[in-house]
Amino acid sequence: MNNPETPNVIEIKFEGVDDWGRPIFKQVNSKNRFGSTDKLCYTEEEINSITEQDLTWFGTSFNCEPMGSLAGNIKIVDGKSLLQRAKEGI
């Protein structure tokens, strides 16, 4: 859920790597997906190197084509490694 102290921040969680090696993040409490077309990920180190600045809006489904740039600030939430969270289904 978005923090009420920062209402313009979109909180996202790592969802996985799509068929093209792109890291995909899902907005908390929404179907919106964000991903990177510039940084592809094949190792845990590459996945964990992704930052908010690497991401753009992809659309509302996993494996979709990028739809455009961000319409606000995004924040990756949760302190565990991205790959570990995905393995645990978090």
pLDDT digits (tens, 9 = 90+) for 29-68: 999 999 999 999 998 889 889 999 999 999 999 998 888 7
> pTM score, two decimals?
0.78
Q: 3 in a domain, yes or no?
A: no
* pLDDT confidence of residue 2: 44
Closest by CA to 19, choosing from 58, 51, 45, 50, is 58
Residue 87 — pLDDT band, cuts 50, 70, 90?
Answer: low
Radius of gyration of the chain (CA): 12
Mean pLDDT (the chain) is 82
Tally of domains in the chain: 1
Q: 1 in a domain, yes or no?
A: no
CA dihedral over 27, 74, 66, 85, signed as positive or negative: negative
Q: Is 34 exposed, middle or buried (0-12, 13-18, 19+ CB in 10 A)?
A: buried
* pLDDT confidence of residue 62: 94
- The domain containing residue 15 runs over which residues? 9-88
